[in-house]
Structure 1
Amino acid sequence: MQTWQVGNFKITKVHELPIEVGLLDGLIPELTPEAVREIDWLYPDYVNESGQILADLHSFVIDNGEHVILTDAGCGNGKSYPMQPIWSDLDTPFLERLQEAGYGRDDIDIILCTHAHLDHVGWFSMRDEEGKWVPTFPNARLVMVRDEYERHLSQIVETGEVQDVSDAAGDDDVDLIARAFHPDTSALSNQTRLIQEESFQPIVDAGRLELVPTDGQVVPGVRYESTPGHTTAHHSIRLDSDGATAFVTGDAFHHPIQIARPDWSSQGDWDGGASARSRRAVLESCAGTDLLFMGTHFAGITAGYIVEDGEGFRLVESRPPSVERR
């Protein structure tokens, strides 16, 4: 189990499941076996010998002695994901792994969510013994950026409002996350409705949803940082404690190759140009510093430090020796 210390924050990675090799083929169009061979530091943690993406689903637990915070919440068990059926009806030991890390369901008091896609919200809720969806972490409040939650709700459309997203490519109010593989807005609407019912609504009904503005502070030392592109209001998470800093990517970075090639965007991005600009701004701001860079889908070595590498950047496991804290 990977753990890190950032000032007063103890951060623990809690693994949910690996992403099946091949599932993300084509997600980043430029990522070919030939291109990957030029970036040797990606092996063996982030790509296999065939040049295919290696990635996983996990959460981070952030504990400063006063708050125990869960960042993003994976797919969850028993959920309905018709747009990604391989992750439907899962039965993973995520909660047991959380317990092994030293945290029970009652210990989590804050949940953070970088964006409202199905592989980041599942453990918000679970079925109780009677089969009813209830908050997984009964003492936790879900703190989320208002614009992102409202974007999520906006994907639920009535039957008469459904249109093909291919006709809406210029509409900034339409999330085109399904454009590459599932271009039917009705499918996106149905999936969003299920996510709302099975994951968000139990939190809402319990009065545990708290919405904050763009770049909003959650508690001292913990805030959201706007990194738009994957969705219109995607936010990463920034931690500051005792002069030390960490950055949790969310899906601003799907894979470490986007550190080496920040202009390579995901097919699932709402706006690939915006996501590329967000990535480059983040990398330029933290390169050569002691900021701990933590990938939400990075397999293997999940966190490290950013250093310049030619025209791009790279992730290294050890803090650059010349860095002075700032």
Structure 2
Amino acid sequence: MADLTVDQGGRLRRPAGIRSIRLGDTKVSYVPDGDVRFRPLDLLEDTTDEVWAAHPEYLDATGQLVGSVGALLVEHGDRALLIDAGFGPQEHEGPQGPVRAIRGGALPQGLAELGRRPEDIEAVAFTHLHSDHLGWACHPAPGGDRPVFAHAEYLISEPEWERRDLLEAQGMAEQVAALAPRVRTITDGQEIFPGVRVRVAPGHTVGHAEYVITGGGRRLIAFGDALHAPIQIDHPEWSSAFDHDRVRTAEHRRRLVAEMAEPGTIGFGVHLADVVFGQVRHDGAGPAWRPLDA
């Protein structure tokens, strides 16, 4: 792996395109749906202006923290699983709060570029039930009235689905109703697809899930929103404003960072700009998060 420059070739300031890796007989691909711009001080409330002045490589020209929005396609033989479903064909701008702007809509095109149709997806496994992960599971296919993933089950951790009332209280009753007919709840440690096991890691939400994918002597941890930005690898004590339980999330993030530093372990963070696949290296040669293909 090559040494990285401080700004990692500008990749920390742009959203990711399609990227794929192989784990033995399993192919894993990031499928972009869009991007998000976070207000850094509002997203990571324990940071300061001085922190971001010292790390301008994470910010775009307007001072916003750049994030990706998308899904993870897992392919094993003819079978295909999707982890999360992007934001969907919509845009949103926030006049205040952590999200400055977010947009989606590109996921079906990305699947097509990877040679997959929505009907090829046998299941969509969610890390959690926030709108930027539910998008295309709740929106009909372009020009139609059927769900995009009409042939798929929706796999949601049991504790997450049991507390769907929290979503309804936040004005997401319509999304809950759209998901309900296809939901199958899953439990900690369950294998949901060849080489893919769910790991319930609450904190960001009450039943937030990670997915551990093994193959070819390696493992990949798709850690959902346990991390929103690569800088949290160096500072796991910095929790996101979106975390349901910030203390619990910080404790889990410390364990997760240590785990991703183990040999043969890869991390996948759907929001981590154009460095979604990476490994943790504490060698003093730069940021701890090293893009896998750097």
Q: What TM-score results when the alignment is normalised by the length of structure 1?
A: 0.74
Q: Does 1:125 align with 2:138?
A: yes
Distance 1:8 1:131, change over 3 A: closer
Q: In the TM superposition, what is the alpha-carbon distance from 1:107 to its structure 2 partner?
A: 1.1
Which residue does 1:30 correspond to in 2?
Answer: 46
**Greater per-residue strand proportion:** 2
Q: Give the Cα–Cα distance (whole angstroms) in 1 for the partners of residues 141 and 203 of structure 2.
A: 36
Farther-moved stretch of structure 1 (239-248 vs 50-59): 50-59
Which residue does 2:163 correspond to in 1?
Answer: 151
What are the within-5 Å matches in structure 2 for residues 90-169 of structure 1?
92-127=105-140, 132=145, 134-156=146-168
SS in 2 for 1:239: strand
Contact 2:238–2:250 (Cα < 8 Å) also in 1 = yes
Distance 1:131 1:247, change over 3 A: same
Q: Give the Cα–Cα distance (whole angstroms) in 1 for the partners of residues 269 and 53 of structure 2.
A: 21
SS in 1 for 2:255: helix
The CA deviation string for residues 137-176 of structure 1, in whole angstroms up to 9 with x for no partner, is 12221122111111223443xxxxxxxxxxxxxxxxxxxx
Q: Give the Cα–Cα distance (whole angstroms) in 2 for the partners of residues 319 and 129 of structure 1.
A: 34
Q: In the TM superposition, what is the alpha-carbon distance from 1:309 to its structure 2 partner?
A: 5.6
Q: In the TM superposition, what is the alpha-carbon distance from 1:228 to its structure 2 partner?
A: 1.6
Distance 1:284 1:20, change over 3 A: closer
Contact 2:32–2:106 (Cα < 8 Å) also in 1 = no
SS in 1 for 2:164: helix
What are the within-5 Å matches in structure 2 for residues 204-283 of structure 1?
204=181, 208-283=182-257
Distance 1:242 1:97, change over 3 A: closer
Q: Does 1:192 align with 2:172?
A: yes
For this pair of structures, how many residues does the alignment match?
273
SS in 2 for 1:30: coil
Which of 12, 31, 51 in structure 2 is aligned with 1:14? Answer: 31
CA RMSD of aligned residues (A): 3.1
Structure 1 gap ranges (5+): 157-188, 321-326
Q: Give the Cα–Cα distance (whole angstroms) in 1 for the partners of residues 170 and 54 of structure 2.
A: 41
Q: Give the Cα–Cα distance (whole angstroms) in 1 for the partners of residues 287 and 90 of structure 2.
A: 39
Q: In the TM superposition, what is the alpha-carbon distance from 1:128 to its structure 2 partner?
A: 5.5
Distance 1:140 1:81, change over 3 A: farther
Q: In the TM superposition, what is the alpha-carbon distance from 1:315 to its structure 2 partner?
A: 0.8
SS in 2 for 1:19: strand
Which of 53, 66, 75 in structure 1 is aligned with 2:65? Answer: 53
SS in 1 for 2:156: strand
Contact 1:55–1:298 (Cα < 8 Å) also in 2 = yes
Matched residue type, 1:20: R
Q: In the TM superposition, what is the alpha-carbon distance from 1:36 to its structure 2 partner?
A: 3.6
Q: Does 1:71 align with 2:83?
A: yes
Q: Give the Cα–Cα distance (whole angstroms) in 2 for the partners of residues 79 and 50 of structure 1.
A: 19
SS in 2 for 1:31: coil
Which of 276, 281, 287 in structure 2 is aligned with 1:307? Answer: 281
Matched residue type, 1:52: Q
Matched residue type, 2:172: T
Q: Give the Cα–Cα distance (whole angstroms) in 1 for the partners of residues 143 and 292 of structure 2.
A: 48
SS in 1 for 2:43: coil
The CA deviation string for residues 49-90 of structure 1, in whole angstroms up to 9 with x for no partner, is 676311120111111114211111111125999998965xx7
> Which has the larger Rg?
1
Dislocated runs of 4+, deviation >6 Å? 79-85
Structure 2 gap ranges (5+): 1-17
SS in 1 for 2:124: strand
Which residue does 1:163 correspond to in 2?
Answer: none
SS in 2 for 1:106: helix
**Identity across matched positions, percent:** 26
Matched residue type, 2:79: H
Q: Give the Cα–Cα distance (whole angstroms) in 1 for the partners of residues 144 and 151 of structure 2.
A: 20
Q: In the TM superposition, what is the alpha-carbon distance from 1:219 to its structure 2 partner?
A: 2.4
Q: Give the Cα–Cα distance (whole angstroms) in 2 for the partners of residues 129 and 281 of structure 1.
A: 41
SS in 1 for 2:73: strand
Higher relative contact order (CA 8 A, sep 6+): 2
Q: Give the Cα–Cα distance (whole angstroms) in 2 for the partners of residues 256 and 218 of structure 1.
A: 28
